C-alpha cells in the first residue's frame, strides 16, 4: 500500500473511532453487511480497529426477498466474514410495500424490524451511511416539506431497540470510501436496484446530485453541516417540548390536558404535540393534520368524542383530555375468553392486558374462584353491578361514564365473570359479594391500557 493510501486509511480510522468512543456500555457491534461498497468498507474498518475496542464484532445480512441473486450475495457475505473470523447472522424479511408505501420505505421498514428483533442489551447496530447519503436525505426531506427534525436527517448515533444505532462513516464522502476500498483491494457487489432511477433516491443520486456537485463541489459536506444545525435546533425544540409536556400532561397515562394546551402559543402547542407523539412511538402528523387537530379536536365541545387519524395513529378527545394511540383493531363484544388467572391475559382488541395478583384483605375473594369457571367478557348492553360498599345497583354504562372511561373503550373494558355472575369490571370496581374482607385472601386485577401508551 502506498503512503498516500495509508494516509487515507488512517483518516478513515480517525473518523470512525470517535463515534465508537461516544457510545457507553457497548458489548457487541452488529455491522449491517449487505456486501455493497459502503458496508464492505465499514466491516473492514471495524475488523482493523478490533485492538481499539473490547466489544464483540459480528455482522448481520438481510435478505429482502426482492433479488434473484440474493442467495449468491448471502454466500459472498458469509465468505467475507469467515475470512475475517466475524460471526454472521442471516435474516430474511418480507419487504413488499403496503398500500401507499414506496419500495424504499418498505425495504427500510422490513430491514430495521428484522434487525431490531436481534438486538439485545449492550448491542450497537452499525450502518454504513456516509456524507453523500446524508446530503440525499436532507434534499429528500426538503422536497417533502419537512421541519427541522426531518432536515436534521440521520444522527451519528441514537438509541435503537435495547441498544444503539450508530453511523460511524457519516463524516466521510463516498469517494473516500471507494478510495479506501481500492487501497485495500476490497471487492463488493452492486445491487442493480441502486441504479433504478425510477426510485426517487436513485433519481436524485444519479440525475440531480452530479449536476449539483459540478456547480458546488462541496455541496454534500455543506448539506451535512446544515443537517447538523437542524439537529441542534431539533434538540432545543425537544428540550422545550419536554418542559411543556410536563406542564400539559393529563392525569391518565399518555394523555394531555386540553385546557393546558390551549394556554400555549400555536407554535409551542404543535411542538409539544409532536414531542408527545414521538415519546409514544407514534407516526407524526402532517401540517394539515395539525391544523385539523386545532379546529376539529381542541375546539370541539366537551361532550363530543372527535377522532383524527393518519396512517398508524389515532388522536381522540374525551372530555378535557387528548388521547393518542395505535389504531384500535376490530373488536367482537360477543367474545368470551376463559382465564385461569395464573398468567397475564393479553387482550389486543381491547388495547391492553389483564394481570391478577394475590392480595390479602382486598380484591376479589379467592375462595370464590376455585370451583367456578372464570371468563372475561365484554359489555353488550344491560349489564348491572353494585360496586362493593355502595347501597344501590347501577347500570354498567353509567358506572363507566362515572369512572371517566372514554366512550370508544367502554365496549372493550374487560369484565370478569365467575360462573355467570359479573364479579369485577377491569380494575375499576368489584361487584358486591365478591369483595375480599379483612384478612381474607384476595386477587387484585390490573388492566394496562397498552393502546394508550404503545
> Based on the domain organization, do 204 and 255 belong to the same domain?
no
> Based on the domain organization, do 315 and 345 belong to the same domain?
no
Is residue 452 scored above 70 in pLDDT?
no
> Based on the domain organization, do 309 and 417 belong to the same domain?
no
Is residue 9 scored above 80 in pLDDT?
no
437 found inside a domain:
yes
239 found inside a domain:
no
Return the CATH number at 312.
1.20.59.20
> Based on the domain organization, do 426 and 319 belong to the same domain?
no
pLDDT-based confidence at 67, cuts 50/70/90?
A: confident
244 found inside a domain:
no
Per-residue model confidence (pLDDT) at position 454: 34
Q: Where are the alpha helices (DSSP H) in 193-299?
A: 200-203, 209-215, 219-248, 258-261, 266-279, 287-292
Return the CATH number at 64.
3.40.50.620
> Based on the domain organization, do 218 and 353 belong to the same domain?
no
> Based on the domain organization, do 20 and 153 belong to the same domain?
yes
Percent of the chain with pLDDT over 70: 94
Query: What pLDDT, in 10s, does the model give residues 132-182?
Result: 999 999 998 988 888 898 888 899 989 999 899 999 999 999 999 999 999
- Host domain of residue 267: 249-325
162 found inside a domain:
yes
Cell matching residue 434: 365478591
Rounded Cα gap, residues 190 and 188, in angstroms: 7
Query: What pLDDT, in 10s, does the model give residues 315-371?
Result: 999 989 999 988 888 888 899 999 988 899 988 877 678 999 999 989 999 998 888
Closest CA to 137 of 101, 176, 175, 108: 108
Rounded Cα gap, residues 272 and 239, in angstroms: 10
234 found inside a domain:
no
β strands within 97-250, DSSP E: 123-126, 157-160, 163-166
Rounded Cα gap, residues 219 and 222, in angstroms: 5
Cell matching residue 170: 457519516
Rounded Cα gap, residues 243 and 426, in angstroms: 33
The listed range with the strongest mean pLDDT (193-197, 249-253, 288-292, 304-308) is: 288-292
Q: Based on the structure, what is the number of domains in the chain?
A: 3
**Greatest C-alpha distance within the chain:** 92
3-state helix, strand, coil in the chain (%, to 5): 40, 20, 35
Query: What pLDDT, in 10s, does the model give residues 398-449?
Result: 999 888 888 888 889 999 999 999 999 998 999 998 998 888 999 999 887 6
pTM strictly above 0.75: no
> Based on the domain organization, do 148 and 69 belong to the same domain?
yes
243 found inside a domain:
no
> Based on the domain organization, do 257 and 376 belong to the same domain?
no
> Based on the domain organization, do 75 and 201 belong to the same domain?
yes
- Looking at 325, 356, 385, the residue that finishes a domain is 325
392 found inside a domain:
yes
> Based on the domain organization, do 162 and 53 belong to the same domain?
yes
Q: What is the mean pLDDT of residues 211-237?
A: 91
> Based on the domain organization, do 313 and 343 belong to the same domain?
no
Amino acid at each position: 500500500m502506498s503512503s498516500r493510501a495509508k494516509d487515507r486509511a488512517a483518516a478513515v480510522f480517525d473518523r470512525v473511532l470517535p463515534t465508537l468512543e461516544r457510545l457507553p456500555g457497548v458489548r457487541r457491534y452488529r455491522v449491517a453487511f449487505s456486501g455493497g461498497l459502503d458496508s464492505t468498507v465499514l466491516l473492514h474498518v471495524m475488523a482493523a480497529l478490533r485492538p481499539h475496542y473490547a466489544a464483540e464484532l459480528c455482522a448481520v445480512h438481510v435478505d429482502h426477498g426482492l433479488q434473484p441473486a440474493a442467495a449468491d450475495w448471502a454466500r459472498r457475505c458469509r465468505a467475507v466474514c469467515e475470512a475475517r473470523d466475524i460471526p454472521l447472522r442471516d435474516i430474511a424479511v418480507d419487504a413488499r410495500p403496503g398500500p401507499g408505501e414506496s419500495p424504499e420505505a418498505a425495504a427500510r421498514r422490513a430491514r430495521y424490524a428484522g434487525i431490531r428483533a436481534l438486538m439485545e442489551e449492550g448491542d450497537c447496530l452499525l450502518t454504513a451511511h456516509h456524507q453523500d447519503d446524508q446530503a440525499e436525505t436532507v434534499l429528500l426531506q426538503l422536497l417533502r416539506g419537512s421541519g427541522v427534525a426531518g432536515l436534521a436527517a440521520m444522527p451519528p448515533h441514537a438509541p435503537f431497540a435495547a441498544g444503539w444505532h450508530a453511523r460511524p462513516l457519516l463524516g466521510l464522502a463516498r469517494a473516500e470510501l471507494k478510495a479506501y476500498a481500492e487501497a485495500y483491494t476490497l471487492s463488493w457487489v452492486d445491487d442493480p436496484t441502486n441504479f433504478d432511477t425510477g426510485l426517487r433516491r436513485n433519481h436524485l443520486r444519479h440525475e440531480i446530485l452530479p449536476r449539483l456537485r459540478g456547480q458546488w463541489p462541496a455541496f454534500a459536506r455543506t448539506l451535512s453541516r446544515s443537517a447538523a444545525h437542524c439537529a441542534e435546533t431539533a434538540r432545543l425544540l425537544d428540550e422545550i417540548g419536554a418542559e411543556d409536556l410536563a406542564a400539559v400532561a393529563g392525569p391518565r397515562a399518555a394523555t394531555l390536558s386540553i385546557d393546558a394546551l390551549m394556554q400555549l402559543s400555536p407554535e409551542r402547542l404543535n411542538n409539544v404535540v409532536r414531542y408527545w407523539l414521538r415519546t409514544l412511538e407514534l407516526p407524526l402528523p402532517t401540517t394539515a393534520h395539525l391544523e385539523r387537530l386545532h379546529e376539529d379536536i381542541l375546539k370541539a365541545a366537551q361532550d363530543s368524542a372527535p377522532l383524527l387519524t393518519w396512517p398508524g395513529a389515532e388522536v381522540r378527545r374525551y372530555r378535557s383530555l387528548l388521547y393518542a394511540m395505535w389504531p384500535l383493531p376490530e373488536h367482537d363484544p360477543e367474545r368470551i375468553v376463559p382465564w385461569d388467572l395464573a398468567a397475564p391475559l393479553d387482550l389486543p382488541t381491547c388495547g391492553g392486558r389483564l394481570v391478577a395478583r394475590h392480595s390479602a384483605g382486598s380484591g376479589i375473594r379467592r375462595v370464590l374462584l376455585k370451583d367456578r369457571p372464570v371468563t372475561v367478557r365484554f359489555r353488550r348492553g344491560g349489564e348491572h353491578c353494585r360496586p362493593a360498599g355502595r347501597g344501590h345497583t347501577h347500570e354498567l354504562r353509567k358506572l363507566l361514564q362515572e369512572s371517566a372511561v372514554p366512550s370508544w373503550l367502554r365496549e372493550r373494558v374487560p369484565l370478569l365473570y365467575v360462573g355467570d355472575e359479573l364479579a369485577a369490571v377491569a380494575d375499576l370496581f368489584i361487584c358486591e359479594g365478591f369483595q375480599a374482607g379483612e384478612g381474607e385472601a384476595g386477587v387484585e386485577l390490573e388492566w394496562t391500557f397498552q393502546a394508550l401508551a404503545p
